[in-house]
Amino acid sequence: MGGVAGHLAHLYDNRNLTYNKMAEILQKAANGELIGTEKTDGYNIYLGFVDGRARAARNKGDMSRGGMTMEDLVNRKYKGGEKSKKAYTKAFAAYEKAVNSLNDEEKASIFGPAGDIFYNAEIQGPVAPNVVNYDENVLSIHHMGHKRYIPETDSLEIVDNEQASKFLDNVIDRFEQATANETFSVKRTAFLDLNRITDEELVNGVLDRIQATGYTGDMTIGDYLENKLYPIVEKDLPQLDENQRQLLIDRILKKKGAPTTPQITKGMPKEEKAVISRYSNPKSSNLIIKKLIDPIEQPIHDLSVVLLRGLQSAYVLDNPSEVKRLKQETKDAIRAIKDYEGPEQAAAHDILVTQLKKLKHHDNIDTVVEGFVFQHEGQMYKFTGNFAPMNQLLGLFHYGRGKIPKMVKESILEQNEADYSKEIVAILPGKYKPAHRGHLDMIRHYLEHADRVVVLISSKEKDGITSDVSERLLQMYVRDAGLNNVDIEVSEYPSPVQAAMEYGNNPEMQGTKIILGASSKGGDAAERFAGNLQKYVDDAEVLNPLDYAFDPIGEVISATDFRNAIKNDEDIDKFIPAGSKDKADVIVDMIKEKLQEDTQHFLGIFRGLVEEVLTEVYSDKQRRWACAQSGKSRKSFKGKPSLSKTEADEMCKSKDIKEEEEDLEEMTGAGAVAGFGAPITKPRRRERKMDKKEVNEAINYLLQKLGV
């Protein structure tokens, strides 16, 4: 899952970084003027002290709730299984003991009077094994990257409190004493000095190579990418007008507010849509950007290798022996990948070529230091040298990637066998009539578990509120919250269930892992829905939704309550996300001009609706045949066996497919959070009529989601 720290950036990852700033940073690095720490190969965690207890945070949601206690950590699910759980809980036990050795005044000096400062830290050592074998289990508290949660804006901000940091330095020895008998020791991250480069020709050569790409002066990385993309799109897609080209470029670059692919291709022939989709889908766009960045990345990598050459890790006693081990293991990995002849052989060999372009040879591994971390003008960056390509090769060797299986011999595999290299996509279908704070909380939650979130809005109106209003509201919320990697689309299918099924079969979803939006209070029903969806999705893996289920934050609210509040001119503050509260009047106007009086009593129809939807569904022709069977003639139909009187009567009275889809859409879209409120059914597939107990269970499940 994504941590609070997020992605620690290379220089070229910052789209706002100009060439002049980049050149300044590289020159400072070469002159030994950057102050930074050793980047270690462990598990990231944030540490705090709130309401008299030690706390930990892995994501913004944790931090917004004041962090996790030991009980929370024990009950949490971990991607790495029991090994990861052991590492986190053992490290936190040491931290808890360390921080409890301080008095109240000392704690306030470090964590702030309100206890809102969370310190960026790393869990590393034999209990938390990755690529490098560290000799000691250490909970290492970094010198930078600390955060606090701002409830007014529902955001995180970097804390640069020099006084608090110095106070922590003064008591760190006591932390080590307090944890003397623990599995982990608690320390400050070791500072690291880069190699100074006296060869000006080498540095100038690196800068010349970067400028030769066209990235120069006050041009940003974003400007550079856009300049490179435009002629490519113009040449390959001449049928697009200038505006369409720009929209596609914005989509490829994942700019805030960029349109979705269907919005760009609306009204185009099917063949043209397919061509544009090949450019705009995340896999393709990532490859395009990577290819364009490569001429800048390569010279920076070459300089990083020199800056890190031969450096000693503070956490490894015998650096030469560990270097030797990594060389041999990388040599084995290179040989195994080169000789690999299984599924996706070409893809495996492409990875090998790409990484050897940086590494050149396994003998170039000369340090166990993963990298150098530093801060410049409020942004944290890293130099990683040859650790990065080595890590990629060893990852492919140990775990595989996508359809490429692991290549390491089973006898030496002691890592978790799960494959996390596939893109994870969270699909959140629903009505969103209208969208509210709970929906944005849900999107944030799934961004912590997925690479991207796809919100599918039902095209069906509700009380006069259209999908266009829902889309504009969600776009506003997401933009105001500063969230990325969120695709908001109006589905052409009125049923959220069908929308999810169809989206899961899109070409761009091949090889992905899908998480369906679900409530944490949904019981095993959500698992059944996911299992049914898996039957209709050919080339993607549907994960168990309960492993990633959304737990509503604060008061549970619903779209129904939101509509009623606007109808009755009540305060709507609780329905609006923090970042959009200043637009309350605009939101009311958007909704109220479409809002119609709803004369139906929701709970009054709810039971009948569930019972109807969970009954058998047949085509109109099948239903007419059953009605004939229920008569005295009892005729067969094109060789089909006769039905019993009871079966024929039930089938004759059932709904047709069109009615079923409309009712299913109404029920699944009604919840306070998106997700599946009824089993996914395939048209013309006969299902047993549920008994009263099962219907009640389904009702209870849906009412829990609604917060009723």
Each domain of the chain, given as residue ranges in start order, spans 41-188, 198-416, 424-592, 602-706
- The topology under which CATH files domain 424-592 is Rossmann fold (3.40.50)
Contacts of 122 (CB under 8 A, 6+ apart): 40, 42, 43, 44, 45, 138, 139, 140, 142, 189
Of 32 and 567, the structure prediction assigns the larger pLDDT to: 32
Query: For residue 668, what pLDDT is reported?
Result: 31
| Average pLDDT score over residue span 131-147 | 91
**pLDDT on residue 549:** 79
What does the pLDDT look like over 325-358, one tens digit per residue?
899 899 999 999 999 998 999 999 999 999 999 9
**What gap in Å lies between CA 537 and CA 516, rounded to an integer?**
13
In the chain, DSSP finds a helix count (H) and a strand count (E) of 26, 18
Residue 323 or residue 409, greater confidence = 323
pLDDT band at 617 (very low <50, low <70, confident <90, very high): very low
Domain 41-188 is in which class? alpha beta
Q: Calculate the average pLDDT of the chain.
A: 81
What values do phi and psi take at 269, rounded to 5? -60, 155
Higher pLDDT, 535 or 245: 245
What confidence tier does 622 reach under pLDDT thresholds 50, 70, 90?
A: low
Percent of the chain with pLDDT over 70: 78
The pLDDT of 432-440, averaged and rounded, is: 90
> Pairing mode, if any, of strands 379-383 and 424-430?
unpaired
Residue 525 banded pLDDT, cuts 50, 70, 90: low
Distance CA 473, CA 433 (A): 10
CA distance 373 to 107: 27
Give residue 227's pLDDT. Answer: 96
pTM score: 0.59
Residue-wise pLDDT for 482-514, tens only, equals: 788 899 999 888 777 778 888 887 878 888 888
Give the model's confidence band at 274: pLDDT under 50 very low, under 70 low, under 90 confident, else very high: confident
- Answer whether residue 455 shows pLDDT above 60: yes
Q: What is the DSSP letter of 131?
A: S
Confidence of residue 214 (pLDDT cuts 50, 70, 90): very high
pLDDT for 364-388, tens place per residue? Answer: 999 999 999 999 988 899 999 999 9
Is the predicted pLDDT of residue 93 greater than 80, yes or no?
yes
Q: Identify the residue with better confidence: 639 or 97.
A: 97
Confidence (pLDDT) at 298:
96
pLDDT (average), residues 146-175: 90
Task: Give the per-residue pLDDT at 671.
Answer: 37
- The pLDDT tens digits of the residues spanning 382-424 come to 999 999 999 999 999 988 988 899 887 543 223 323 444 578 8
Which phi-psi region, left, alpha or beta, contains residue 383 (left: φ > 0; alpha: ψ -120 to 50)? beta
CA nearest neighbour of 371 among 118, 37, 639: 37
Instruction: Give yes or no for a contact between 443 and 486, defined as CB atoms under 8 angstroms apart.
Output: yes
